Chains A and B, each alone.
Chain A
């Protein structure tokens, strides 16, 4: 990272000399302390990850008796020519981008309100955290009750008779609303904390110039909040593109694959049709796409910041 190179070196603490003399003992100690955590991470996380990347280049089947052989980039070729993959990918992108964007806008609005001295904001503050506290499965089931064609409240309130989650064009927007509801709390809490860290003096300085509310927001609040915004929208995007449980409970990817996010697609390929190699390639491709998108976004933000 180039940003760190320009920063002045931190002052050396006086205890540094004593520490250096104990170096080898410290290294040994550190390894002993790390070992209990390192073993399970290597065995069940790093190992499987490398294994999974390797599987992506084989024709592995998720069954007991199958001779696995190396097939090179065949899975990738299959993937790139598969129409259902591209439709799943498109749906995943629409989902992740719109949920992340709407989540951010809604959360920013709520955080700005909660940062004001309003009555009843305590109620809103508690409510804003509740979705966070709920198991994703329960959130999915709860919204299923809201969207239920016969016993749901939404049709009753709107006076419609729509089967929201089974409608070809409405299912995706319907689950996007649930996605926004689910992810708003984290984003709001982070943005609110960011708002509270903006130094008061900055506002006072422009108030002298007679700046209005909008100018204060554009010239002080947003620029000050920028690092927090970049961090939380990146995280939200990654969480959203990897979303599984919520949508699995709501629609199982239906109707007709209209809400089949990439992770649902991969899950079906791996555990229903048992194409382990193909599904691994799908996971790998998604990881590459996510990392590339994230890298590009962070790189642009950092370049702008300079």
Chain B
């Protein structure tokens, strides 16, 4: 970024632009600040008639209370298990396919890419009804493995799309050179391709993890028993007709549920733009 000194006239001309930017910042930030403010308020202050931005007596008690409510720790643990399992499985099974799509031309990879695009358009409801029936026959409804199967299946197309992009970025000449030097196929892949692919694999893992951690609709359909519910479901059950007393812990729990995604975005923020751009233009 280059820093330029601006004259008074140029600065004045930019006033409308700064006002517009300020409007955007306010629109984007105010719900977030309100969530934070609510999370720091005491139940007594929540009950007051005129809510204020700055809590009068800020407290962290809501965060502690949140852990006691509705088995939130259990739900977070289950979400973690499901997200870890589905992200690892997704990457392990899509990596070879991504390699095949990136390196070989042919009908199959065109069909695969077509499927990636089609899977973005079809309404989930069309798939989730039969899927629910299939999982029920397999006795996988109300189980975490059932949800993992679904998350893997539905993260797979986009993971495949991401990974094949990363494989394409590794020059095929490198592999050919390694083969020339007498390295076998496996050694070429492990020794040459894998190290170059590692950052892309990590990004895809994180993407799959977050997709699963945040996912709501499939979890809602498949996990109906409160004892197996994941974090998003438990958070929604938090809001009942009980009134404002529990809003503080709810806000605190919501903030905590956002932490994994925030870490993920902090890590991949730079990659985001280029990756998404490529996807959007090709899509």
When the two chains form their complex, are residues A192 and B31 in contact, meaning their CB atoms are under 8 A apart? Answer: no
When the two chains form their complex, are residues A145 and B251 in contact, meaning their CB atoms are under 8 A apart? Answer: yes
Residues of A within 8 A of B257 (CB): 135, 137-138
Instruction: Give the distance in Å from the alpha carbon of A30 to the alpha carbon of B101 in the complex.
Output: 8
Range, interface on chain A: 35 or more
Size of interface on B: residues with Cβ below 8 Å to A: 99
Write out, one digit per residue, whether chain A residues 25-59 have a CB within 8 A of any chain B CB (1) or not (0).
01101111110111011001111110111010000
Residues of B within 8 A of A267 (CB): 125, 217, 221
Instruction: Give the distance in Å from the alpha carbon of A235 to the alpha carbon of B261 in the complex.
Output: 22
A79 touches B (CB below 8 Å): no
Residues of A within 8 A of B125 (CB): 263, 266-267, 270, 279-280, 282-283, 286
Of all chain A residues, the one with the shortest Cβ separation from B127 is A48
Of all chain A residues, the one with the shortest Cβ separation from B234 is A137
Q: Name B's A-contacting residues (CB within 8 A).
A: 1-2, 4, 14, 17-18, 20-21, 24-25, 27-32, 34-35, 37-38, 46, 49-53, 92-94, 96-97, 99-101, 104, 106, 108-109, 112, 115, 119-134, 136, 149-150, 152-154, 156-157, 160, 172, 176, 213-214, 216-217, 220-221, 232, 235-236, 238-239, 244, 247, 250-251, 254-255, 257-258, 261-262, 264-265, 269, 272-274, 276-277, 280-281, 283
Is the contact region of chain A dominated by helix, strand, or loop, or is it mixed? helix
Is the contact region of chain B dominated by helix, strand, or loop, or is it mixed? helix
Report which of B46, B121, B160 forms a contact with A287, defined as CB distance below 8 A. Answer: B121
Given A33-B96, A267-B125, A290-B121 in contact, is the A136-B283 Cβ separation under 8 Å? no
Q: Name A's B-contacting residues (CB within 8 A).
A: 15, 26-27, 29-34, 36-38, 40-41, 44-49, 51-53, 55, 62, 64, 106, 109-110, 113, 116-121, 123-124, 127-138, 141-146, 148, 150-153, 156, 181, 184, 186, 189-190, 192-194, 197, 227-228, 231-232, 235, 238, 241-242, 244-245, 248-249, 262-263, 266-267, 270-271, 276, 279-280, 282-284, 286-287, 290-291, 294
Residues of A within 8 A of B274 (CB): 193
When the two chains form their complex, are residues A193 and B258 in contact, meaning their CB atoms are under 8 A apart? Answer: no
Residues of B within 8 A of A55 (CB): 129-130
When the two chains form their complex, are residues B112 and A153 in contact, meaning their CB atoms are under 8 A apart? Answer: no
When the two chains form their complex, are residues B261 and A141 in contact, meaning their CB atoms are under 8 A apart? Answer: no
Q: State the Cβ distance, B187 to closest chain A Cβ, in Å.
A: 16
List 3 tightest A-B contacts by C-beta distance, closest first.
Answer: A283-B126, A37-B97, A51-B130
Residues of A within 8 A of B94 (CB): 37
Report which of B126, B129, B232 forms a contact with A137, defined as CB distance below 8 A. Answer: B232
When the two chains form their complex, are residues B106 and A124 in contact, meaning their CB atoms are under 8 A apart? Answer: no
Report which of A15, A143, A249 forms a contact with B31, defined as CB distance below 8 A. Answer: A143
Instruction: Give the distance in Å from the alpha carbon of A194 to the alpha carbon of B232 in the complex.
Output: 34
Q: State the Cβ distance, B184 to closest chain A Cβ, in Å.
A: 13
When the two chains form their complex, are residues B156 and A40 in contact, meaning their CB atoms are under 8 A apart? Answer: yes
Instruction: Give the distance in Å from the alpha carbon of A276 to the alpha carbon of B126 in the complex.
Output: 10
Instruction: Give the distance in Å from the alpha carbon of A120 to the alpha carbon of B104 in the complex.
Output: 46
Instruction: Give the distance in Å from the alpha carbon of A71 to the alpha carbon of B112 in the complex.
Output: 33
Q: What are 13 sample pairs from A and B whose C-beta atoms fall under 8 A apart?
A: A26-B104, A46-B115, A51-B134, A52-B130, A113-B20, A117-B1, A124-B28, A132-B265, A189-B273, A190-B277, A232-B280, A238-B121, A280-B129
Q: State the Cβ distance, A140 to closest chain B Cβ, in Å.
A: 8
Residues of A within 8 A of B112 (CB): 34
**9 further interface pairs, Cβ-Cβ under 8 Å (given A138-B255, A197-B277):** A33-B96, A41-B153, A44-B149, A49-B127, A117-B1, A118-B17, A135-B216, A276-B129, A280-B125
Report which of B220, B232, B280 forms a contact with A235, defined as CB distance below 8 A. Answer: B280
Residues of B within 8 A of A244 (CB): 124, 216-217
Residues of B within 8 A of A150 (CB): 49, 244
When the two chains form their complex, are residues B17 and A145 in contact, meaning their CB atoms are under 8 A apart? Answer: no
When the two chains form their complex, are residues A48 and B130 in contact, meaning their CB atoms are under 8 A apart? Answer: yes
Of all chain A residues, the one with the shortest Cβ separation from B154 is A45
